[in-house]
């Protein structure tokens, strides 16, 4: 009986775990295409899967660089953007309630040529969280 329950629990957890995949909702093709003639930094932004938002699966995060929209992310998706080296502002907002923006988070990013990765999510009390992971 214990083995059957353990096996069932493992299958349930594996079924919930999905690998990240690229978004198909690109808004700014220029921002996601590298320009070999310029010194640029590759920035990858992930949207983490959150149980509290599984019910509202239509909610998307709008990813922006320097105030310009780049892509829309659903849970477990990412977008890769290329920015010229220098200081930029990386942000996201939520479109959970139709087109109304319910919150926003913006970070100052120093693009120095080394690849960077960031994760995003909405915290337990509605705080918009974004942090550098690499």
pLDDT single digits (tens) 7-18: 544 544 444 555
Q: Give me the sheet containing 77-84, strands edge to edge.
A: 21-22, 77-84, 40-47, 116-122, 128-132
The residue segments making up the domain with residue 26 are: 19-132
pLDDT single digits (tens) 31-69: 999 999 999 999 999 998 876 555 555 688 999 999 999
In a domain, 4, yes or no: no
Beta strands in the chain (DSSP E): 21-22, 25-26, 40-47, 61-65, 68-73, 77-84, 86-94, 104-111, 116-122, 128-132
Give the model's pLDDT for residue 122. Answer: 85
Query: Which region among 20-34, 51-65, 69-83 has the lowest average model confidence (pLDDT)?
Result: 51-65
The CATH number of residue 122's host domain is: 2.60.40.2890
Instruction: State the pTM of this model.
Output: 0.79
How many structural domains comprise the chain?
A: 1
Q: What distance in Å separates the CA atoms of residue 86 and residue 120, rounded to the nearest whole number? A: 22
């Amino acid at each position: 009986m214990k083995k059957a329950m353990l096996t069932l629990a493992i299958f349930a957890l594996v079924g919930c775990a999905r690998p990240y995949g690229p978004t198909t909702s690109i808004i700014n093709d220029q921002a996601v295409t590298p320009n070999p003639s310029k010194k640029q930094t590759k920035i990858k932004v992930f949207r983490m899967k959150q149980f509290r938002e599984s019910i509202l699966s239509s909610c998307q995060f709008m990813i922006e660089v320097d105030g310009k929209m780049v892509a829309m992310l659903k849970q477990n998706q990412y977008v890769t953007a290329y920015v010229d080296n220098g200081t930029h502002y990386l942000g996201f907002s939520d479109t959970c309630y139709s087109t109304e923006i319910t919150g926003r988070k913006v970070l100052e990013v120093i693009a120095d040529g080394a690849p960077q990765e960031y994760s995003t999510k909405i915290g337990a009390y509605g705080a918009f969280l974004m942090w550098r992971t690499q």
